Amino acid sequence: MVPLAKKAVENDRVMRPEIVENYRDFEPPANFKRLMEDLLDAVPAKYLVGLGRIVLANQSALTRDQRRQKIWSRNHKIRLAEARGAYYRATASSPAAVWLYVDNILKSEDPWLQRLPILRYHELATVLYHEIGHHIHAVHRPIFEDKEDVAEDWGGKLFGRFCRIRYWYLRPLCVLSGF
C-alpha cells in the first residue's frame, strides 16, 4: 500500500511540463537540470496545468530574429537575448511555454553560491518561479494588477513553499531569528 503523501508526490511529477534542453556551444553545470526538477516538484500540480514545456537555452541557440526580438519588462523593452527568462502564452497551435536562458541566469550569480545548499537554488528559483507566476496569472488566477508585480508575488510564494518543503529543518531557526 502506497502512503497518501507519496501518491500525491507521484501525481505531481506526472503533471510536470516537458523539459527541453536547447544549447549551442554551451555546457550548463552538471546539476542544473536536477536543480530545476527539484524546484518544479515543489509547485502544486494544479498550477502547472496548461504549461506544455520549459525550454532551457542559451543566447547562441537563439535564431537571428529571436536575438533581435524585444520583450516588455517593467514598462520598458529589453532584448530577448539579454533576458533571463520569458513566458509565452498558449496559442491555438501550441501550449504555454517558459524559456529560461541558462547562460544569463548563471552570469547573474556568483559562482561560490553554488556551494551553499539553499543559495544554489536562489537565482534559478527567482527566474523559474517568476515565469510560472506569469502562467498562474494568465491561466489560473487572473488579477487586475500589474503583470510583473503579480508574477513577483507568485514567485515569492512558490519559493517560500519550496524552502518549507526542502529545508523544513531550518524553520525553527527562522522563528528564533524573527524571520
How many Å apart are CA 159 and CA 154, to the nearest integer? 8
Q: Is the pLDDT of residue 175 over 50?
A: yes
Q: Is the pLDDT of residue 58 over 50?
A: yes
| CATH of range 4-170; options 3.90.1170.10, 3.40.50.970, 3.30.2010.20, 3.10.130.10 | 3.30.2010.20
- Neighbouring CB atoms inside 10 A of 28's CB total 17
Q: What percent of the chain has pLDDT over 70?
A: 88
Q: Is the pLDDT of residue 126 over 80?
A: yes
- Which amino acid, one-letter code, is at 83? A
Q: Is the pLDDT of residue 12 over 50?
A: no
- Which amino acid, one-letter code, is at 154? W
Q: What percent of the chain has pLDDT over 90?
A: 38
Buried b (16+ CB within 10 A) or exposed e, 134-170: bbbbbbeeeeeeeebebbebbbeebbeebbeebeeee
> Residue 55 forms beta bridges with which residues?
20, 99
Domain ranges of the chain: 4-170
Q: Do 55 and 45 contact (CB within 8 A), yes or no? A: no
